[in-house]
């Protein structure tokens, strides 16, 4: 994908928006190599880090909206057909990945739209089950913005931090290295959050039933 390499090599607010829009649909664009390098250059004075986060989040919202509308209006059979098609495979997509995102959404409800934006393999697909379930768009957009904004802040923080310790020719390797640590930490935090809300729900349910 020469066009993708060209865009990644010429990061500005417009390309950040476009790449994050694509990342939030089904195009395999790694957000780590968009937001973190942009924040790296922002730390060097070439961009504004707050605008980097803003345009990245706006792009994510627009891309997620495309997936939401596809789920809302096209329905499950067409979504699955595309996922299993040649074009779906080119986008590193398959029915199992879509079903995995659906399972995550239906298990965890609307909060999954926030937390799902932080989980690899789920992040760019969580909008589809939101559309399939006919979730209200304003709720979807609010939760997507919160989740995408948080993720972009994390990536921007990484890029800003790396500017002080890593030369640009080693940036990609360090993003990959630190990115793995971030993913593990986020997965652990998400798991803790779900356990907390599950325990809280269970305690409240027992109180309502008069069991305590």
Q: Report pLDDT digits (tens) over 85-118.
A: 887 777 667 788 888 787 777 776 667 777 777 7
Sign of the CA dihedral running 187, 188, 194, 198: positive
What per-residue confidence (pLDDT) applies to 109?
67
Regarding pTM above 0.85, the answer is: no
- Residues whose CB is less than 8 angstroms from the CB of residue 29 and which lie 6 or more positions away in sequence, other chains included: 4, 19, 20, 22, 23
113-171 pLDDT tens trace: 777 777 777 777 888 888 888 889 998 999 899 989 989 999 999 999 999 998 988 88
- Residues whose CB is less than 8 angstroms from the CB of residue 34 and which lie 6 or more positions away in sequence, other chains included: 8, 11, 16, 19, 20, 23, 56, 155
- Overall average pLDDT of the 68-83 stretch: 85
What per-residue confidence (pLDDT) applies to 210?
65
């Amino acid at each position: 994908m020469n066009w993708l390499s060209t865009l990644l090599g010429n990061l500005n607010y417009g390309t950040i928006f476009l790449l994050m829009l694509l990342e939030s649909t089904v195009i395999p664009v790694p957000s780590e190599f968009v937001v973190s390098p942009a924040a790296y250059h922002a730390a060097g004075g070439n961009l504004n880090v707050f605008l980097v986060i803003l345009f990245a989040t706006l792009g994510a919202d627009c891309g997620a909206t495309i997936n939401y509308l596809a789920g809302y209006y096209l329905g499950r059979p067409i979504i699955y057909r595309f996922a299993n098609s040649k074009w779906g495979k080119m986008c590193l997509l398959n029915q199992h990945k879509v079903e995995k995102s659906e399972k995550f959404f239906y298990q965890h409800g609307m909060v999954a739209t926030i937390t799902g934006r932080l989980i690899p393999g789920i992040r760019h697909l969580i909008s589809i089950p939101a559309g399939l379930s006919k979730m209200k768009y304003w709720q979807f957009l609010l939760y997507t913005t919160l989740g995408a904004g948080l993720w972009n802040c994390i990536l921007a923080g990484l890029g800003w931090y790396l500017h002080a310790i890593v030369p640009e020719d080693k940036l990609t390797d360090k993003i990959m290295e630190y990115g793995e640590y971030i993913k593990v930490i986020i997965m652990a935090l998400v798991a803790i959050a779900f356990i907390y809300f599950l325990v809280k729900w269970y305690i409240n349910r027992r109180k309502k039933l008069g069991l305590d």
